[in-house]
Chains A and B, each alone.
Chain A
Amino acid sequence: MFRSISKSIMAKLLVQFFLVGIIPLIGMGTLTYYLSKDAIKSEVFQNITSINGIKKVQILEFLKDRMQNLTLLSRTQQIRNMINNKTYQEMSPIFEYYMQAFGYSDILLLNESGQIVYSATSNTEYAADSKTVPETGAALKGLWEKIVDSETPMMTDMLRYKTGAEPALFIGAPVYADTGELYAVLICQINAARVSALIVDAPSTGIPDAGGGAGKFKRDTYIVGPDSLLRTKSAHSGNDAVLKERVDPGIYNLALKQIGGTGKSMDASGESLLNAYSLVGLQKAMGTDFDWVIMTVVNENEAFALLHKLKINTFGGMVIFVLLVGIAGIFQSRMIARPINELSYRVVKLNDGDFTAEVPLTDPNRNDEIGMLLRTFNDGSKKFRHQMKSLLDSTNLLIESITRISTTASQLATSASETSSSISEVTTTVEEVKQTSQVATEKAEYVAQSADSTTRISHAGKQATENTMIGIDRIREEMNAIAESTVQLSAQTKSIEDIINTVSDIADQSNILSVNAAIEAAKAGEHGKGFSVVAQEVKSLANQSKEATNQVRGILSDIQKATSAAVMATERGTRSVAEAIELSEQAGNAIDRLSGRVTESAEAAMQITASNQQQLAGMDQLSQAMESINDATQQNLDGVKQLEDAIKNLEDMAQTLKIITATYKI
């Protein structure tokens, strides 16, 4: 379980959300609860303490007031007169008034011997010596004695002066005679119920509840005496409890020591009570030999009912908030965790070499960091894919290139070995060339010798051509003569043609003449018939002569053609002779040039011999150079082998690269 939490980011986020949500909530709730509890508690205690204090002041003021009143009454002339004259009955209305106004239950008058001489309630005079004088209780006796001793007003504790009597307290004041001696004691009785009413009837006293909410509980205030018995009635027990019910004696002792305080106690039924107690301070204020403790109690459960409600509200609210935080946490962590899960799934695939992975964008408009991350991842993976593809292409290209390089290298190796063998051949050839050049030297010497004889022969040739030229000149002269006679012949044929033309013209004119004659004959009619025949004959003669001239003209044109051909032939002959002269001149020149060339050849042959010597030296150098080239070629071969090894390594590397890139899916 823990492992799965540590694996899943969603679970982690959830736990964090819970922790972040719940810890402050619980802390705040608890803190608030306890602070509130303390506040409420202190308020409750403050409340009861203040009420306690108010009650204390009330009771103290009440008693002091009563004592002062009684003292004032005891000092009046009327009292002295009453005692002196024993006119108790006359005083009865005044006592009545006092009892009503100050809530006394009774007013008693005790004489100097401590006997009751008058009781206002029963309006009875008691003779000092008679037996009807009621027995003054031990308490009253005690009070009388104290007053007589101290000559100051005094108060007794709450007591029953006789069995069955209501519990009451008595305040006494000395009455002085006109002479100034103490001769009577005036005592008033205040019932416990009166005192109880002062304390218990809290709402009527006008004391406001301290605090809004905290005052809604029931409280109880009562006075406890030194014997830990109640001096006033309590809310739950009534008047019967006075001087009967006992409270925890520890509280009284505590109050004596600390004058005031708060605490917890248990009541008779076992319920837990909160109390505030304080010493009333009778000893101090009124000089009594006892003191009272005034206590205010509340039921703890009632007082803290609000606290209980607060607890329920606080923790109930806390549970609701925890649930809300949980739900919000689930939503939030899902929003964060889901894309990250997707992304991580893709990244794992990416690690396995699958670049086709793209995170599906559930919300394409998501603009926070996760949205940006997903989009950037998609863009990045697209880019990476693209780059991977180019890498693959490049790898393939690399492999191809390496294959080509490999081929080229092997070709290089082959060509290097070929070069090597070629060099051997060249070396051999150089040797051969050396031999050949030696042969060439010999041949060149031979050429120089033959050039000499050729020069001599060419001189003879030149002589012969000169003789030929003389003969041709003669032929040319003959040809010119032939040409001249042919031209003369042509001119003569021309004159013959002129004559023929004249004859032809005459024939034409004769023809027209014959026609005109025929016309004239026809016009002459019968007489012209014979002339018409003559005209016919003339016409036929004209026609015959025309035909003859035509024949002559044909022959003449043949002659003309022949003579033109002869002229042409002679011209050609003349031209051929001129060409022959030119040719023989050219032949002479050629022979001249030939002899010059032959001389040059002889010189060239000499030069060839010399250069052959140089060539032989050059061939030696060439042979040495070939040897160094051979060495270099050997090195070249070694280098090519190393190159092949290197290319092999390169090929292996390229294959490895291809295998690596092939693992990627794009």
Chain B
Amino acid sequence: MNDEPCATTGLTEQILKIRAEQLARIRLSRETRGDFITVVEFRIAQEIYAIELTHIRTIHPLKDLTYIPGAPSFIKGIFNLRGEIISVVDLKHFFNLPDQKPGHAHQVIILSSKDMEFGILSDAIFGVREINTDDIRDSLPALAGIRQEYLKGVTGSGIAVLDDEKLLNDQKMIIFL
């Protein structure tokens, strides 16, 4: 390394210059792109989903779930949220995904609109982040089936963005016992 100090210095400078250019371009593109949406990122089974904050009321750890006999399999049960009875939907059953091992800590994402309120069972919450709407693409053929109806699209990093409006307005979620 000591034999050729000039050459090494030149190469380092060149690399640094390229990086700087790249960073500058990204910022430029972010400014030029369209709207951003804020989403909560979470995991169901082995897949990562995202849902917009618009209709999320709160996130609550799942405690004292009561099973309802005779309900469809995607209705996991009901639980008490500060004196309010909330039904919990298990999207794994709704989307016909493989069942996860039980005994794991769950969180419930509570969606709420004027007419409807229920919780979605999630295996883990990663946090809140912003997603560029241009980055959302049509869903992959691998996600075909019932899921596709409830998806807005898939981001470049493979996050499935759920359509919260459709889920809330879906007639299947209204259950009479």
Report yes or no: A523 in contact with B53, Cβ–Cβ below 8 A.
yes
A568 interfacial contact with B, CB 8 Å: no
B105–A518 touching, CB < 8 Å: no
The answer, among B40, B58, B61, B128, for a CB contact under 8 Å with A508, is B61
Is A71 an interface position by the 8 A CB rule?
Answer: no
Q: Mark A512-529, 1 if CB is under 8 A from B, else 0.
A: 101110110011000000
- Do B125 and A519 have beta carbons less than 8 Å apart? no
- Alpha-carbon gap, A469 to B38, bound state (A): 79
Cβ of A115 under 8 Å from chain B: no
Report yes or no: B105 in contact with A508, Cβ–Cβ below 8 A.
Answer: yes
Tell me, yes or no, whether A434 is within 8 Å of chain B by CB: no
B107 within 8 A of A: yes
Q: How far is the CA of A516 from the CA of B53 in the complex (A)?
A: 10
- Considering the chains assembled together, what is the distance between the CA atoms of A511 and B60 in angstroms? 11
| Chain B residues positioned under 8 Å from A516 (CB to CB) | 58-59
- Given A511-B125, A539-B127, verify A519-B107 contact (CB < 8 Å): no
Minimal Cβ-Cβ distance residue in A for B58: A516
Q: How far is the CB of A616 from chain B (nearest CB, A)?
A: 88
Report the separation of the CA atoms of residues A518 and B38 in the bound assembly, to the nearest whole angstrom: 10
Q: Which of A528-544 contact B (CB under 8 A)?
A: 539
Which residues of B from 54 to 72 have beta carbons under 8 Å from A?
Answer: 56, 58-61
Residue numbers in B under 8 Å from A509 (CB-CB): 61
Interface residues of A in 477-515 (CB under 8 A from B): 508-509, 511-512, 514-515
Q: Point out the residue from B61, B107, B128 that lies within 8 Å of A518, measured CB to CB.
A: B128
- Report how far A516 CA is from B38 CA in the complex, Å: 13
Q: B125 to chain A: closest CB distance in Å?
A: 6
Also in contact, A515 and B40, with CB within 8 A (given A508-B105, A522-B53, A539-B127): yes
Contact yes or no, B53 A515, CB < 8 A: no
A519–B40 Cα gap in the complex (Å)?
Answer: 8
| Residue pair A519, B127 in contact (C-beta under 8 Å) | no
CA distance A509 to B56 in the complex (A): 18
Chain B min CB distance to A622 (Å): 87
**Residues in chain A near residue B127, CB distance under 8 A:** 514-515, 518, 539
**Per-residue CB proximity of B109-136 to A under 8 Å, as 1/0?**
0000000000000000101100000000
Asked if A512 and B107 sit within 8 Å, CB to CB, the answer is: yes
* Closest residue on chain B to residue A513 by CB atoms: B59
Q: Which residues of A contact B56 (CB under 8 A)?
A: 519
A516–B58 Cα gap in the complex (Å)?
6
> Quick check: A519 and B60 within 8 Å, CB to CB?
no
B96-109: CB near A (< 8 Å → 1, else 0) gives: 00000000010100
Of chain A, the residue at the smallest CB distance from B126 is A515
What distance in Å separates the Cβ of B7 from its nearest Cβ neighbour in chain A? Answer: 42
Which residues of B19-46 have CB atoms within 8 Å of chain A's CB atoms?
A: 38, 40
Residue contact B53 to A519, C-beta cutoff 8 Å: yes
CA distance A529 to B56 in the complex (A): 18
A519 touches B58 (CB 8 A): yes
Closest beta carbon of chain A to B163's beta carbon, Å: 18
User: What sequence of 0s and 1s flags, for each residue 291-308 of chain A, a beta carbon within 8 Å of any chain B beta carbon?
Assistant: 000000000000000000
- Residues of B near A518 (CB, < 8 A) are 127-128
Q: Give the distance in Å from the alpha carbon of A508 to the alpha carbon of B59 in the complex.
A: 12
B125 x A515 contact (CB < 8 A): yes
Q: Across the two chains, which residue of chain B brings its CB closest to A532?
A: B128
Given contacts A522-B38, A522-B53, contact A515 B105 (CB under 8 A): no
Contact with A along B128-165 (1 / 0, CB 8 A): 10000000000000000000000000000000000000
Give B111 Cβ to nearest chain A Cβ, in Å: 12
Question: Smallest CB–CB gap between A530 and chain B, Å?
Answer: 15
Which residues of the partner chain B approach A515 to less than 8 Å between Cβ atoms?
40, 59, 125, 127-128
Is B60 within 8 A of A512, CB to CB? yes
Shortest Cβ distance from residue B54 to the other chain A in the assembled complex, whole angstroms: 9
A512-B125 contact, Cβ under 8 Å, with A519-B59, A522-B38: yes
Q: Given A518-B128, A519-B56, A519-B128, are A512 and B61 neighbors across the interface (CB < 8 Å)?
A: yes
CA of A514 to CA of B59, assembled, Å: 10
Closest-CB distance, A380 to chain B (whole angstroms): 102
Task: Looking at the assembled complex, report how far the CB atom of B98 sits from the nearest CB atom of chain A, in whole angstroms.
Answer: 25
Which residue, of B58, B60, B105, has the highest number of chain A Cβ atoms within 10 A? B58
Give the shortest distance, in Å, between A535 (CB) and chain B (any CB). Answer: 8
Q: Tell me, rounded to whole Å, the shortest Cβ–Cβ distance linking A546 to chain B.
A: 12
> With A and B bound together, what is the CA distance between A511 and B40 in angstroms?
13
CA distance A276 to B13 in the complex (A): 206
Q: How far is the CB of B49 from chain A (nearest CB, A)?
A: 15
How far does the alpha carbon of A361 sit from the alpha carbon of B59 in the complex, in Å? 128
Q: How far is the CB of A608 from chain B (nearest CB, A)?
A: 78
B59 touches which one: A512, A523, A539 (CB < 8 A)? Answer: A512
Collect the chain B residues with CB atoms within 8 Å of residue A512's CB: 59-61, 107, 125
* Set of chain A residues within 8 Å of B60, measured between Cβ atoms: 512
Q: Could you jot down 12 A-B contacts, CB within 8 Å?
A: A508-B105, A512-B59, A512-B60, A512-B61, A512-B125, A516-B58, A519-B40, A519-B56, A519-B58, A519-B59, A522-B128, A539-B127
- Going nearest first, the 5 A-B pairs with the smallest beta carbon separation are A518-B128, A522-B53, A522-B38, A515-B59, A516-B58
Chain B residues at the A interface, C-beta cutoff of 8 Å = 38, 40, 53, 56, 58-61, 105, 107, 125, 127-128
Interface contacts beyond A514-B127, A523-B53: sample of 15 additional A-B pairs, CB < 8 Å, sorted by A: A509-B61, A512-B60, A512-B107, A512-B125, A515-B40, A515-B59, A515-B125, A515-B128, A516-B58, A516-B59, A519-B40, A519-B58, A519-B59, A522-B53, A539-B127
